[in-house]
C-alpha cells in the first residue's frame, strides 16, 4: 500500500496515554482522574445551559471562563489564555516560545519530548537526583525551560523559592510551569506572574475539578506571552473551547468550597494509603499530587501491575529507564484504596 504519511508523521513517537479499559466493575487508578463527581453547582450550570445558543460560535477568548479565571487570580483578563485542556495549551506554548535548546528533567511528563520532536525543537534532559528531586541550580537553558510542578510521575513538588531560582537563572527565555496536579498540596507560582515576564503557568480542570471529560485548560502569564499563545491558536483554530465548556468550567471554578473539600479528602486518602503501602514493604515517594509513585523491595512492578489487572484494578507502569521498577497509583476513594491494599496484601502472601 502507498505510504501517505508525511516524514514527520512516520518518524514521530507519539505520547501514550494510560489504558482506558472497557470492562465493568473495575477500579481505575491509572490515569489520575478525580474519583469524585463535579459539584452540584457545576452540574446545574450544565443542565441550565441554553442549548439554543449552540447555533452561534463560542467566544474565541474563553468568554465567561476567562473572566472567571482572571477574577480568581486577581489578574486582568489580558493575563489569561483558555484552551482545550492543558495539553493543547502546552502545545501552543512550545510553538509560540521555543525554537531550540530547551530543557526539562529526564523523568517528567512524557508528553514534553513529544512536543519538542513534533515542532523540531532540540532539547536537553536534566538528570534528576538519586531521590528523584530536581537539581535546580543545573536547570539552565538558552532556549527555554519546561517544568511539571508537582513533577510527573514522581509527584514531588518544588517550593515557590525553587521556582523563583529557575526564573532568575533563565531570564532570557520562557519558563513554563505545568501545575496540572498543584491543587493537591503544591505551592502555585501564580502569585509570581505579575513579577516575572518570562513565566507562563499552565493548568487544567481535569484533575482538580473533576472535569477530565470536558477538556479545559488555561495559562497565566503577562500579556506579551498570552499574545504569543493567541497568535498560534488563531493560526490553527480561533474557536478552541465550546460554549457549554466555557459555561460549565466557569461555574466549577466559582465553587471553591466544594473543590477545596474534595482536594483535602484526596490528600488525606493519599497519606493514609502511603503509610499502608509502606507497611507492606513498598517505598513511596513524597507526593503533592493525586497519585503515589511506589516501588517494592523485592517484587517487580510489571508483575504487580499484571496481578492487579487480573483483579480488575488498573495502575500505571512506565517501562522506561530509571523508573521501570515503579508504579504510579492514582488516589481513588477510601473504599477503592481499601480494595487495593487488600489485594496487595494477598499478593504479599
Instruction: Compute the mean pLDDT over every residue in the chain, rounded to the nearest whole number.
Output: 95
Distance CA(84)–CA(206), nearest Å, equals 11
DSSP-based three-state secondary structure for 95: helix
In DSSP terms, which residues pair with 114 in a beta bridge?
none
User: 3-state SS string over 237-271?
Assistant: CCCCCCHHHHHHHHHHHHCHHHHHHHHHHHHHHHH
Distance CA(104)–CA(176), nearest Å, equals 10
The three-point CA angle 85-89-92 to 5° equals 145
Task: State mean pLDDT over 233-248.
Answer: 93
Distance CA(274)–CA(293), nearest Å, equals 10
User: 3-state SS string over 122-142?
Assistant: CEEEECCCCCCCCCHHHCCCC
What would the pLDDT profile of 270-308 be if each residue is shown by its tens digit? 999 999 999 999 999 999 999 999 999 899 999 999 999
pLDDT at 349 over 80: no
Residue 190 pLDDT: 98
pLDDT at 348 over 80: no
Task: State mean pLDDT over 180-199.
Answer: 97
What would the pLDDT profile of 215-229 be if each residue is shown by its tens digit? 999 999 999 999 999
Give the burial class of 26: count Cβ atoms within 10 A of its Cβ; 0-12 exposed, 13-18 middle, 19 or more buried.
Answer: middle
Q: What is the dihedral of CA 33, 37, 39, 43, to 10 degrees?
A: 110
DSSP-based three-state secondary structure for 80: strand
Strands (E), 9-58: 27-28
Q: Are strands 282-284 and 102-105 parallel, antiparallel or unpaired?
A: unpaired
Distance of CA 88 to CAs 28, 47, 213, 244, Å? Answer: 24, 27, 14, 18
What would the pLDDT profile of 24-42 be if each residue is shown by its tens digit? 789 999 999 999 999 999 9
Amino acid at each position: 500500500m502507498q505510504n501517505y504519511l508525511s516524514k514527520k508523521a512516520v518518524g514521530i513517537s507519539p505520547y501514550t496515554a494510560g489504558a482506558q479499559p472497557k470492562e465493568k466493575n473495575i477500579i481505575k487508578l491509572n490515569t489520575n482522574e478525580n474519583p469524585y463527581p463535579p459539584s452540584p453547582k457545576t452540574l446545574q450550570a450544565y443542565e441550565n445551559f441554553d442549548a439554543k445558543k449552540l447555533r452561534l460560535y463560542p467566544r474565541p477568548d474563553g468568554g465567561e471562563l476567562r473572566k472567571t479565571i482572571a477574577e480568581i487570580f486577581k489578574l486582568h483578563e489580558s493575563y489569561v489564555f483558555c484552551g482545550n485542556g492543558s495539553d493543547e495549551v502546552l502545545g501552543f506554548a512550545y510553538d509560540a516560545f521555543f525554537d531550540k535548546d530547551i530543557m526539562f528533567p529526564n523523568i517528567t511528563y512524557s508528553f514534553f519530548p513529544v512536543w519538542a520532536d513534533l515542532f523540531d525543537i532540540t532539547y536537553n534532559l536534566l538528570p534528576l537526583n538519586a531521590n528523584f528531586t530536581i537539581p535546580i541550580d543545573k536547570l539552565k537553558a538558552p532556549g527555554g525551560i519546561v517544568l511539571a510542578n508537582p513533577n510527573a510521575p514522581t509527584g514531588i513538588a518544588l517550593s515557590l523559592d525553587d521556582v523563583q531560582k529557575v526564573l532568575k537563572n533563565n531570564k532570557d527565555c520562557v519558563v513554563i510551569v505545568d501545575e496540572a496536579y498543584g491543587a493537591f498540596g503544591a505551592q502555585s507560582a501564580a502569585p509570581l506572574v505579575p513579577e516575572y515576564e518570562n513565566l507562563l503557568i499552565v493548568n487544567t480542570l481535569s484533575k482538580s475539578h473533576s472535569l477530565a471529560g470536558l477538556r479545559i485548560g488555561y495559562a497565566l502569564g503577562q500579556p506579551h506571552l498570552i499574545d504569543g499563545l493567541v497568535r498560534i491558536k488563531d493560526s490553527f483554530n480561533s474557536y478552541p473551547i465550546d460554549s457549554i465548556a466555557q459555561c460549565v468550567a466557569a461555574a466549577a471554578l466559582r465553587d471553591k468550597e466544594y473543590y477545596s473539600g474534595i482536594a483535602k479528602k484526596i490528600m488525606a486518602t493519599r497519606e493514609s494509603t502511603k503509610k499502608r503501602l509502606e507497611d507492606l514493604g513498598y517505598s513511596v515517594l513524597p507526593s503533592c499530587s493525586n497519585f503515589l509513585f511506589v516501588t517494592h523491595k523485592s517484587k517487580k512492578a510489571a508483575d504487580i501491575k499484571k496481578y492487579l489487572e487480573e483483579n480488575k484494578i488498573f495502575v500505571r507502569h512506565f517501562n522506561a529507564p530509571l523508573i521501570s521498577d515503579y508504579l504510579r497509583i492514582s488516589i481513588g476513594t477510601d473504599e477503592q484504596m481499601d480494595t487495593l491494599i487488600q489485594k496487595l496484601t494477598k499478593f504479599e502472601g
